[in-house]
Amino acid sequence: MLVGILNVTPDSFSDGGLYLEPDRAVRRALEMADEGADVIDVGGESTRPGSLPVATGEELGRVVPVIEAVRRRSDIPISIDTTKAEVARAAVDAGADMLNDTSGLTRDPEMLNVLRHNKLPVIIMHSKGEPAKMQDDPRYDDLIGEISDFLRAGAEAALAAGAPPGGVVVDPGIGFGKTAEHNLTILKRLPELAALGYPLLVGPSRKSFIGAALGLEVDQRLESTLAAAAIAVANGASLVRLHDVKQGRRAVDLAAKIRGASD
C-alpha cells in the first residue's frame, strides 16, 4: 500500500508551506488519490529534525478543515499524523480513519483512550527523543533490537487498548533519532523488523539520509527515494509513505510483483 504525505504545515522539511492553504491541500489530496495513493496521511505539525511543538489549537485549525473537505469529496482512507489525543479525536470526528503517532503512543497517555473509544487502526512509529533534539548525536547499543522492542511494546499496548487485529502497523522511523548510517542499516535489515509479525511501514521520502549518502538536496532526491521505497518493499514492507505518489506507485508495484514472483 502507498501512503501519500499531505503536510499542512509552514515548515515541513520538503513541502512546508505548499499546502498550508486548505483548498490547495484538498486539491493535492484528491490528486494523490487519482495517482494511486491508498491512504492520505494528513499532518499539521512538522516533526522534522529541529522542529518545535505546535499549539493544539493551531494544529486543529490546520488539519480539521482539510480532513472534512477531503471526506466530503472522496472515500479514500485518511490517516491523521499527530501525537496529540485532542487532535486525533477531532480528526476522527472530521472523517479520519486511522491514527499515525510518530511517538509510538508514548507522548500523550490519552492517545490509548482514543483507540479504546474508536477502535482505530494505528501506525506505531519508533522515534528517539523529541524532534527539536532527536538528531543531536543519536546512539544505540543494539539498533534493530531496540527498535524492535519499542515497536513490539507499542503494538501490544495498541491491541490491548482496542486497536483492531490486523490494524496495527509498525514503522521503524527513518530519520527520527537516527544517523544516516542507522537509516541505511534499517533498510538493509528490514526483514528482522518484518519478523515482528505486524504490517511494516517505511517512510524514506526525500529524507536527509539520502542527502548524506549521495550529496543531494531535497529537490534532487526523487530517484533515490524510489530506490529506497523499492528496496523496502523487497525487504518486507507492506506500506510505504511517500510525497511523490505517481512515481512511487510505479516503483512499489514493480517491487511487489518481483517479491511475489514464483521461485
pLDDT at 48: 67
Query: Which pLDDT band, with edges at 50, 70 and 90, does 55 fall under?
Result: very high
Please, is 263 exposed, middle or buried when counting C-beta atoms within 10 Å of its C-beta (0-12, 13-18, 19+)? exposed
225 SS3 class: helix
Residues 134-144 have a mean pLDDT of 88
Query: Which pLDDT band, with edges at 50, 70 and 90, does 16 fall under?
Result: low
The CATH number given to whatever domain includes residue 198 is 3.20.20.20
100 pLDDT more than 90: yes
Helix, strand, coil percentages (3-state) for the chain, rounded to 5, are: 45, 15, 40
For the chain, how many structural domains are there in total? Answer: 1
Q: Confirm if 239 and 1 have CB atoms less than 8 A apart.
A: yes
Hey, which residues are catalytic here? 207, 241
pLDDT at 136: 79
13 pLDDT more than 90: no
Q: Please state, rounded to an integer, the average pLDDT across all residues of the chain.
A: 93
Q: Confirm if 192 and 227 have CB atoms less than 8 A apart.
A: no
Q: Provide the whole-model pTM.
A: 0.93
Give tens-digit pLDDT for 230-261: 999 999 999 999 999 999 999 999 999 999 99
Residues 11-15 have a mean pLDDT of 56
Relative to beta strand 2-7, strand 239-242 is parallel
pLDDT at 51: 64
Range of the domain at 222: 2-259
Instruction: Say which residue, 47 or 80, is predicted with more confidence.
Output: 80
The whole-angstrom separation of Cα 254 and Cα 238 is: 13
